[in-house]
Amino acid sequence: MDRTRFEITSKQLIFIIVGTQVATAMLSLPRVVAAEAGHHAWLAVIVGAVFPLAAVFLIVALLNRFRDADFANVSHQLFGKFLGTLLILIFVGYATVVQSVVIRMFTEITCVFILPRTPIWAVSLVCTLSVVYAVSKGAKVIGRLNEFLFYLLIIDLLMIIGAGITQGTYLNLLPVGDVDINGLMQGSLKIVYAYAGCEVLLVTYAMVQHRGEILKAALIGEGITVLIYLMIVVVGLMVFGHEGLQFFTWPVVTLLKIPYSSALGRLELVFLLLWVTLGVRPIMNLSMSASYAFTRAFNLDFNRYYAWIVLGVGAGIYVLSLQPDNLLQVFALADYVGYAFIAISLGYPLLYLLVSVLRRQKSL
Amino acid sequence: MASFLNRLWGRRKAPAYKLPNQQKSDKLGASLDSKKKILDPYVQKNRDIIFREITIKADPRRRAAVVYLEGRVDKQVLYEEIFKSLMLESDAGTLQQGAANQIIDKISHTCLTIGEIKKVNLVQDMIHALFDGLTLVMVDGMPEVLAINITGGVQRTPDEPPVEKTLRGSREGFIEDLSVNISMIRRRLRDPNLVIEKTIVGRRTRTDVAILYIEDIADPEIVRNIRDKINRIDIDGISAIGYIEQFLSDNHYSPFPQFKSSERPDKVVAELLEGRVAIMASGTPWVLIAPALFVSFLQASEDYYDRPMVANFNRLSRYLGYILAVSLPALYISLLSFQPELIPYELFVILAQARSQVPFPVLVEVLIQEIIIQLVVETGLRLPANIGQTVGVVAGIVLGQAAISANIASPAIIIVITITTIATFALPNYSMILATRLIRILFILATAVFGLFGFSLGWFILITHLVSLESVGVPYFTPFGPVRFGDLQDTLFRGFIYRLKYRPQSIPVMDRQRQGQQNG
């Protein structure tokens, strides 16, 4: 197997984890969280981070027990050929559904803000195709791409912070304390959708060159994600207030419409220029993980079949992404994806761990 | 995309390289007549082969002959050092001493006052030596032939490089002669570790190709990779080094140059010092340098000759130039026809007013101008300088003034296309300019369909493509992807020379240290 095309560094793992999590969800995040948690939405971001952190610890604890930590290999060892393959296929199916929701969300935002008269299927198609192109190059390229795109993301974040500082007021964050526990918990559950993505670690774990650094890298990735979300939610609250946030579907984009420079026009321009690079990352990473897991599950030759599988996954994403009728359904689906994420990212490692402890295959 | 399609259809078989055809390596006969018989078919057909029988003064009974290609040899040397030495000045005492079967060595040792002589004893080698331009000296009774290198003939003298102009650098440029080119490098880089490997490419053209690298800096893996690939080339002939470039590159479906070419020795020396490998071919005044990184195509050697503050400014403006060259017309289309709300209102009004008389959609307008500019550039390249100028002026007037008065183009588009063209030619490397011109068209089409989204998508695909490229195994888009922070001080910026103590991390080398620690 041509494994060199699927090697990443631990540094790139950080960016893959950040890139899979931080994407379209970030644009609606302040609204979604503030709807439940009010002006304590930023607390919900921190509380919600428990889920991905637990997932990371569990996944690392699981895969550390295996010398060949390849997801497909581990599944086959623990559950046998048939059941293991079935579990992998469920994972691939889950990843495909998540991607289709992300790509649909991405398409909806694109159509609302950039291309109001272009049909959804066209935008979704070119998007899927460019993702397929990137993914067909292998994990190495995906790793490098995530690394480079992360720095572009920083440009976006700086703009958002800048807008927040100039337009917002800290009074919207007060009073601290007097927390509505129920709302906070609801908010943390809502935010889980935004944290979906750390389960790529299940597959990417085996690609990292230095295994000792994986836990650290994954935690740093999670940390960066939490920081970014915190910043966005705080800025959203500062500018609009938790009630004002409810008037905008994607408050973060709306936020960028406010500042106006005489030379560039609206700052949104810069944001939209970087839009694709921001939005397609999770699709790219998940698609790569799914295709890789699928190829490994059936032990297929990478040179011959990988590109076909990428295309197949792409076709699946594309068809699924056209299923919802409107934006409301997409948001509803996004909530379900959040729950599915909890089930997969916690359920899989727990199940696997349990079986591997039972079977005491520590030496394998 | 095409490489992806290829992977889809599994066309990944290794190309069927053959080793150069090996004829039967017959040995030469001893008698002069047998050698003459071998050469006769060539001599009869080719009037430029001179087969001259001579008598060696020291051994008048022994028949001898000198064979050479007229025009390939330095006649002065031929007459003085070969004919005169053998026919008039050879000393009977020394030549007739010892065994008769050593006479060929004696001639070589005592008669010919020339440096480069080798002995040839195979038919194939003799024929190749003759057509490679060597002068053959053969004597009766000896199964060996002397092949003497006195190639000369008319050569272009080193001149200022016509394409890579420089302000403060050396004015010397490479020429078509390989040995002169190598000597230019040797003169600038007197390191005994500079290795020059030579090989021959092309079954019929038999072009000399040299691989240059500094042994204790360059990564042996890269050198081996390049050497293997060059040795595997099996083609009837190459007429320029561009052939080799295409054989060596890993990604054929890419507009981007994966090898840097230069016609300036000072540049090549600088690259060798960074651990790169240079490839020269006789007949081309351009030298290939590998591995090449994307950023290196945006760097000029003046960056290192000027003061860092100024050089940094120049370099940043070149980066800006690249971005403009790729995206300005596309941005114009998307902002004007899709997202007018994003640009300042006053600006939009001006642009719209300028366009109000133009009958075409923006896309057509941009494409018309873009195509005309492409044609003007293409014309200007091949025409003699004085006619080219006329074309430039005529085209400028037609494009600029007449097109606007005729309402075929708006003044704004003229400005956009002009800025784009200027920005394109601000890039210091011609291969990169070609790539940019092609990519620009793709961007225009993408934005014409999808507006700003297409623009963003275009950049995403472009970056994906750049990140996926490799030049002899080195990631093409370093130090940006994968990111190497240490190298940013000599790529994005140009740091102070005394602070650049190490060679770039992006290129694997054996010896990273570049300066002593006491500097600065």
Tell me if A265 and B477 make a contact (CB, 8 A cut-off).
no
Question: Predicted confidence band at B80 (pLDDT cuts at 50, 70, 90)?
Answer: confident
- Using omega within 30 degrees of 0 as the cis cutoff, is the peptide bond preceding A175 cis? yes
Report the relative pairing of strands B194-201 and B135-139 from DSSP bridges: unpaired
CB-closest option in A144, A272, A304 to B452: A272
Say if B7 is an interface residue toward chain A (CB within 8 Å): yes
**pLDDT above 70: residue A73:** yes
Say if B388 is an interface residue toward chain A (CB within 8 Å): no
* pLDDT score of B322: 94
Say if A280 is an interface residue toward chain B (CB within 8 Å): yes
Q: Give chain B's radius of gyration (CA, Å).
A: 30
CATH of domain A3-358: 1.20.1740.10
- Give the whole-number percent of chain B exceeding pLDDT 70: 94
Say if B505 is an interface residue toward chain A (CB within 8 Å): no
* pLDDT score of B419: 93
Give B480's DSSP letter: B
Say if A209 is an interface residue toward chain B (CB within 8 Å): no
**pLDDT above 60: residue A75:** yes
- Give the whole-number percent of chain B exceeding pLDDT 90: 36
- Residues of A whose CB is below 8 A from B483: 147-148, 151
**pLDDT above 70: residue A335:** yes
- Using omega within 30 degrees of 0 as the cis cutoff, is the peptide bond preceding B359 cis? no
Closest CA of chain B from A144, distance in Å:
5
Say if A155 is an interface residue toward chain B (CB within 8 Å): no
- Residues of B whose CB is below 8 A from A273: 452, 455-456, 459
**pLDDT above 80: residue A97:** yes
Say if A137 is an interface residue toward chain B (CB within 8 Å): yes
Number of residues written out for chain A: 364
Find, in chain B, the residue whose alpha carbon is nearest to that of A281.
Answer: B460
Question: Predicted confidence band at A4 (pLDDT cuts at 50, 70, 90)?
Answer: confident
The mean-pLDDT minimum among A55-69, A171-185, B2-16, B278-292 falls in B2-16
Mean pLDDT along residues B192-201 = 93
CA B234 vs. chain centroid, Å, equals 19
Inter-residue contact B108 to B146 (CB < 8 Å): yes
* pLDDT score of B429: 87
Mean pLDDT along residues B248-270 = 91
- Residues of B whose CB is below 8 A from A14: none
Spell B248-265 as b/e; 16+ CB within 10 A means b.
Answer: bbeeeebebbbbbbbbbb
- Using omega within 30 degrees of 0 as the cis cutoff, is the peptide bond preceding B291 cis? yes
Among residues B282, B300, B303, B278, the alpha carbon closest in space to that of B290 is found at B278
Say if B71 is an interface residue toward chain A (CB within 8 Å): no
Question: Predicted confidence band at B497 (pLDDT cuts at 50, 70, 90)?
Answer: confident
Q: Give chain A's radius of gyration (CA, Å).
A: 20
- Residues of A whose CB is below 8 A from B453: 110, 114-115, 118, 123, 272, 275-276
Contact residues for B235 (Cβ-Cβ < 8 A; gap 6+): B201, B202, B203, B243, B247
Compute the distance between CA of residue B436 and CA of residue B453 in angstroms, rounded to an integer: 20
Say if B340 is an interface residue toward chain A (CB within 8 Å): no
Tell me if A126 and B463 make a contact (CB, 8 A cut-off).
no
A-B C-beta contacts closer than 8 Å: 111
Say if B453 is an interface residue toward chain A (CB within 8 Å): yes
Say if A77 is an interface residue toward chain B (CB within 8 Å): no
Tell me if B463 and A137 make a contact (CB, 8 A cut-off).
no
Question: Predicted confidence band at B105 (pLDDT cuts at 50, 70, 90)?
Answer: confident
Find, in chain A, the residue whose alpha carbon is nearest to that of B468.
Answer: A141
Per-residue pLDDT tens over the stretch A261-305? 666 667 777 887 888 888 888 899 999 999 999 998 888 888 888
Tell me if A276 and B467 make a contact (CB, 8 A cut-off).
no
Closest CA of chain A from B187, distance in Å:
41
Tokens linked to B251? 């990604």
Say if B456 is an interface residue toward chain A (CB within 8 Å): yes
Closest CA of chain A from B468, distance in Å:
5
Find, in chain A, the residue whose alpha carbon is nearest to that of B479.
Answer: A148
Alpha-carbon distance values, A75 to A88, A89, A296 (Å) = 7, 11, 11
The mean-pLDDT minimum among B53-57, B226-230, B410-414, B496-500 falls in B496-500
CB-closest option in A144, A269, A307 to B4: A307
Tokens linked to A316? 């699946």
Say if A269 is an interface residue toward chain B (CB within 8 Å): yes
* pLDDT score of B2: 54
User: What is chain B's mean pLDDT, rounded?
Assistant: 86
Spell B213-222 as b/e; 16+ CB within 10 A means b.
Answer: bbeebbbeeb
- Residues of B whose CB is below 8 A from A155: none
If you write DSSP's letter for every residue of B352-390 in order, what string do you get? HHHHTT--S-HHHHHHHHHHHHHHHHHHHHHS-HHHHHH
CB-closest option in B343, B461, B477 to A133: B461
* pLDDT score of B21: 37
Domain ranges of chain A: 3-358
CB-closest option in A123, A134, A311 to B464: A134
* pLDDT score of A1: 44
User: What is chain A's mean pLDDT, rounded?
Assistant: 87
Residue of A13, A270, A273, A274 to mutate when probing chain B, most B C-beta within 10 A:
A273
B135 bridge partner residues: B148
Would you tell me how many other CB atoms lie within 10 Å of the CB of residue A262? Answer: 8
CA A339 vs. chain centroid, Å, equals 14
Mean pLDDT along residues B91-115 = 79
Tell me if B467 and A145 make a contact (CB, 8 A cut-off).
yes
- Residues of B whose CB is below 8 A from A149: 463
Closest CA of chain B from A142, distance in Å:
8
Question: Predicted confidence band at A360 (pLDDT cuts at 50, 70, 90)?
Answer: low
CB-closest option in B7, B10, B477 to A136: B7
Closest CA of chain A from B31, distance in Å:
59
Closest CA of chain A from B330, distance in Å:
12
Alpha-carbon distance values, B328 to A315, B112, B384 (Å) = 33, 66, 31
Inter-residue contact B520 to B499 (CB < 8 Å): yes
Inter-residue contact A28 to A113 (CB < 8 Å): no
Question: Predicted confidence band at B5 (pLDDT cuts at 50, 70, 90)?
Answer: low
Tell me if B482 and A147 make a contact (CB, 8 A cut-off).
yes
Alpha-carbon distance values, B395 to A316, B392, B415, B509 (Å) = 52, 5, 15, 49
Tokens linked to A35? 């709807």
Tell me if B481 and A275 make a contact (CB, 8 A cut-off).
no
**pLDDT above 80: residue B309:** yes
Among residues A57, A13, A37, A2, the alpha carbon closest in space to that of A236 is found at A37
Question: Predicted confidence band at B13 (pLDDT cuts at 50, 70, 90)?
Answer: very low
Q: What's B122-135 look like in SS3?
A: EHHHHHHHHHCCCE
- Residues of A whose CB is below 8 A from B336: none
3-state secondary structure of A100: helix
CB-closest option in B342, B453, B464 to A110: B453
Inter-residue contact A127 to A280 (CB < 8 Å): yes
pTM score of the predicted model? 0.88
Say if B251 is an interface residue toward chain A (CB within 8 Å): no
Tell me if A141 and B461 make a contact (CB, 8 A cut-off).
no
**pLDDT above 90: residue A319:** yes
- Residues of A whose CB is below 8 A from B12: 303-304
Inter-residue contact A8 to A140 (CB < 8 Å): yes
Amino acid (1-letter code) at residue B466: L
Question: Predicted confidence band at B22 (pLDDT cuts at 50, 70, 90)?
Answer: very low
Closest CA of chain B from A42, distance in Å:
31
**pLDDT above 90: residue B9:** no
Tell me if B342 and A127 make a contact (CB, 8 A cut-off).
no
Alpha-carbon distance values, B493 to A121, B311, B403 (Å) = 43, 9, 41
Closest CA of chain A from B10, distance in Å:
5
* pLDDT score of B20: 36
Say if B493 is an interface residue toward chain A (CB within 8 Å): no
